[in-house]
Amino acid sequence: MIATIQHNNINFQVDLSKPIDISMPLKAAKNNPNAWYLDAPIIEPVVMGDFVGSVSKGASTNFNNIQFNPHAHGTHTECVGHITKEFYSINEQLKTFFFTAEVISIQPEKINDDLVITKKQLQEAIKAHPEAIVIRTLPNLEDKLNKQYSNSNPPYIEEKGAVYLRELGIKHLLIDLPSVDKEKDGGELLSHNAFWNTKGELRLDATITEFIYVPTEVEDGMYLLNLQIAPFHNDASPSKPVLFKIINV
């Protein structure tokens, strides 16, 4: 189904029958992607006395409780409330859900003992002026779908790179890592703070989405992004970002 979209006074076409889901499924298993030193998610039937919420156990419906952490257990979208004393809810701050997005691929640079996405790399990779940027790190191994990141010092974005994205006017930053910041940085969260501009006027309408997975066959370039969240009254929500290839601009 080809749809003609008018967005920010620009007309372009997308094929709505070919969505590209770049979220990772959350499952109650040890091979669920994981970070921040937590155990795997738990999805289990409600038990109340003799009642077990499972059709296979005799109930009329499957009736599960789910225990997980959005930051640790898969694709999630967060607002500035993730790092502020004042409470901000992603469900209140993210008010629109379709954005122009550019997918870029970057192999983080080795700096001392870290792998870092630098400002220079971002400058070279970004070709357009999108509202959202989708960063696929290289090598793009499928083990991202079940990787255990705790105590692994994953790659991250340097502070200057986050400032550059903010100055470009990027409102929505998506990345296939558990964080835009270094795993153990003493709580500085330099790139989170830089992107949301916590030393100036807070960017309340800006979001960071982490733990995505962009399949290798998805080409770098321009897309229409549908950023779907669950309506959690929380700083972050599990999310389902979906891309649609822009056919013409």
For the chain, the structural domain boundaries read 2-34+70-248
Q: Which segments of 94-212 does DSSP mark as H helices, in order?
A: 119-125, 159-168, 190-196
CA distance 238 to 139: 25
Of 103, 99, 188, nearest in space to 140 by CA: 103
For residue 178, what pLDDT band results from cuts at 50, 70 and 90?
very high
Extract the tokens encoding 211.
């733990």
Cβ-Cβ contacts under 8 Å for 48 (sequence gap 6 or more): none
Q: pLDDT per residue over 127-171, tens digit each?
A: 999 999 999 999 999 999 999 999 999 999 999 999 999 999 999
Query: Residue written as tokens 């640790």?
Result: 72
| pLDDT tens per residue, range 12-62 | 899 999 999 999 999 999 999 999 999 999 999 999 999 999 999 999 999
Which of 3.50.30.50, 3.90.25.10, 3.40.50.80, 3.40.50.150 would CATH assign to domain 2-34+70-248? 3.50.30.50
CA 62 – CA 41 distance, rounded (Å): 18
Q: Report CA dihedral (74, 231, 18, 144) to the nearest 10 degrees.
A: -10
At residue 3, does pLDDT exceed 90?
no
Could you tell me which of 29, 60, 63 has the C-alpha nearest to residue 45?
A: 63
Q: pLDDT value at position 7?
A: 78
Close Cβ partners of 240 (under 8 Å, ≥ 6 residues apart) = 21, 23, 75, 228, 229
Closest among 208, 147, 214, 220 to 176, alpha carbons compared = 214
Distances (CA, A) of 236 to 59, 115, 161, 244: 33, 26, 23, 24
Helix (H) or strand (E) holding 93: helix 90-93
* C-alpha to C-alpha distance for 134 and 104, rounded to whole angstroms: 6
Q: What is the pTM of this model?
A: 0.96
Contact 139, 179 (CB under 8 A): no
Averaged pLDDT score across all residues of the chain = 96
Round to whole Å and give the CA distance between 114 and 65: 38
Both structure tokens of 140: 């793009």
DSSP state, 30? T
